[in-house]
Amino acid sequence: MEKIETLKDGSKVILKTMSLEDLEKLHCFYRSLPREDRKYLRIDVTDRVSLERKLKSTEPWRDVHLVAYQGDDVVGHGMLELFLEQWRKHHGELRVLATRECRRMGLGMLLMRELYLQAAQRKVEKVVVKMMGPQISAQSIARKLGFHQETVIPDYVVDLDGEAQDLVIMTCRMDDLWNELETFYMDESWVKLR
């Protein structure tokens, strides 16, 4: 998959399915993010070896990685991870991150929409997001997309500074997510750019 999309400010991005050829650009993207943006990620994405190991461990028939390019630079990364266990095979986990410059421009929503479409093709019924307690703005965005907090596990994960953090788990039915994405795309200012 590769397509050109327009952000709210009229600038263009290319969304594409990621390959290992994108690894260097993805690594540069993660290294360029402020530490505060990386502090709550699952792995130290500035460590190229860890990032490469994580990407190589994903299965292309199961997991979807998308990258967003502006020019030669990666400005966003999204992932849909599916589960193999019988009891969770109808679930998918979403993760999306964009540069601060692209966040209020709709890039995260574009990545979410594409991941939603990939999840729908794979017959996912419910999507999950997991984040650490201090990620208040990410939780707020998830709520706006129709996610509901299912549970908080106190001091369950450790951030990059080695501090224990609560793990927040939120879920959303696919129909609810699509309704919220559709509402976002019907915004007049967005429609003018499409």
What is the Cα–Cα distance from 111 to 76, expressed in whole angstroms?
8
The model's pTM: 0.86
Return the pLDDT at 192.
Answer: 41
Domain 2-193 indexed as CATH 1.10.10.10: no
Q: Which two tokens mark 14?
A: 């290319």
Beta-carbon count within 10 A of 104 CB: 12
What is the Cα–Cα distance from 58 to 31, expressed in whole angstroms?
21
Along the 194 residues of the chain, how does pLDDT read in single tens digits? 999 999 999 999 999 999 889 999 999 999 999 999 899 998 889 998 988 888 877 776 678 999 999 999 999 999 999 988 888 888 999 999 999 999 889 899 899 989 988 998 888 999 999 999 999 988 998 898 889 999 999 999 999 999 999 999 999 998 888 888 877 666 544 444 44
Angle (nearest 5°) at CA 138 between 189 and 12:
40
